[in-house]
Amino acid sequence: MSLRVRLAITFAFVALITAAAVALAAPSIVGRGFAQLEAGDTGGSGPGSGQGQGAGQGHGGGLGPGAGVHAQQVQRDTSVTLIAVALAAAAGASLVGYVLAGRIAGPLGRLGAAAAAVAQGDLRRRSGLAARTDEIGSLGRSFDVMAAELEAAETSRRRFFQDAVHELKTPLAVIEATTTAVLDGVYAHDDRHLQTIRAQSRLLTRIVDDLRTIGLAEAGHLPLRLEPLAIDRLSDEIVRSFEPRAEAEGLRLELDVAPGLTVMADTDRLRQILGALLDNAIRHTPAGGSVLVEAAPVSGFVRVAVRDTGPGIAADDLPRVFDRFYQADPGRDRSTGTTGLGLTIVRALVEAHGGSVGAENVPSGGARIWVELRAPATPA
């Protein structure tokens, strides 16, 4: 039953109790008033009225001079009694209404206490009203969803800071150790150690730049210059730029993109997206394998996928491959110069374009990571 109906029933019930009390008491009160009036009228007729009916009628029906005053007194007494009964009935009905209103206001008080607890940092607090079927229950369920999302966001934030500290600490530790060793004379003052310091400094710079890009994209402040772009030409250009690296690692790069497919995207950011996908696929494909870039239209979007012939992605890792600093292989370090943010940047950039991302394993072996970008409303 809805809250509106409950309130209406409560108010109607209070009014009904008041009316019923007055209706039940009114006959008795009015009857008593008439009885008093009749007794007063009878008392006004003297015992000497037996001189004849005509004589009696000639004197006003036997009414004494105080009969009018008595009638007014009876009327006042009756009115006062009716008002007193109505007030008593209204007081009793109000008490019942107060109890019923308390049953309605009580859940709202619990919801307010839960909101105050969440505001003070207790993100595990819930309303306890989800089982109700009225508007209060709907409000409680919405509150619980909000609290759960806040808890998840806070957990994600803490994990992000922990991961960021860990990722930044590693190159800082290498820089500190190398410079200390050089200054203490453990290492000679040669270019090899300076190159180590420079490489770690550059890694720090890339991590900071990547975090900034992700933050701007997720906040909706990343500037994008959207224009129709031909996927086949851009994919071919990116693949050619990665061919020397793929050949050095014994891999084949293949392209399967139908001509004429276009997307609305920022050129530089789309290059960054495709480059990150190819980089990820090459790093996870053993020598002798291949990496395929493919594209196809999907309901107003164009799906661009990069498929490799590597070991695939564990089922538990699939939902997290786009998380910040997530490593499916915990033993992998940053010795290759990667920041661990490549796929996170891909997701942030694609979502900034209004698209979506996904990852899946290929039945024949390997993994496929895809992005969907919106196609132009009209052909370019």
Residue 242 CA to residue 169 CA, distance in Å, equals 30
> What pLDDT, in 10s, does the model give residues 180-197?
888 888 888 888 888 888
User: Is the domain of 90 the same as that of 158?
Assistant: no
Asked, for residue 235, whether it belongs to a domain, the answer is: yes
Mean of the per-residue pLDDT values for the chain? Answer: 79
Which of 219, 244, 273 is a domain's end point?
Answer: 219
pLDDT in tens, 246-262: 999 999 999 999 888 99
Q: Is residue 32 pLDDT above 50, yes or no?
A: yes
Decide if pLDDT at 156 tops 50: yes
Binned at pLDDT 50, 70 and 90, residue 61 comes out as very low
- Between β-strands 301-308 and 356-361, what pairing exists: parallel, antiparallel or unpaired? unpaired
Is residue 34, in this structure, part of any structural domain at all? yes
Q: Is the pTM of this model over 0.85?
A: no
**Other beta carbons less than 10 A from residue 190's beta carbon:** 9
Q: Are 255 and 316 in a shared domain?
A: yes
**8 and 74 assigned to the same domain:** yes
Give the pLDDT score at 353.
93
φ, ψ (nearest 5 deg) of residue 134: -100, -165
205-209, 228-232, 359-363, 364-368: least confident range: 205-209
User: Is the residue at 52 inside a domain?
Assistant: no
pLDDT at 55: 42
Q: Would the pLDDT of 162 be above 80? A: no
Per the domain annotation, does 254 fall within a domain?
A: yes
Same domain flag for 241 and 362? yes
Looking at the structure, tell me whether residues 254 and 347 fall in a common domain: yes
Verify that 236 and 346 share a domain, yes or no.
yes
- Tell me the CATH number at 194: 1.10.287
Dihedrals phi, psi of 306, to nearest 5 degrees = -120, 120
Domain range for 289 is: 227-374
Same domain (yes/no): 215, 333 = no
Give the CA diameter of the chain. Answer: 151
Give the CATH number of the domain where residue 330 resides: 3.30.565.10
Residues in the chain: 380
Is residue 260 assigned to a domain?
yes
Pair of tokens at residue 322? 């786009």
Is the CB of residue 18 less than 8 Å from the CB of residue 89?
yes
Whether residues 188 and 318 share a domain: the answer is no
**Residue 258: inside a domain, yes or no?**
yes
Specify whether 75 is located in the same domain as 204: no
Give the chain's domain count. Answer: 3
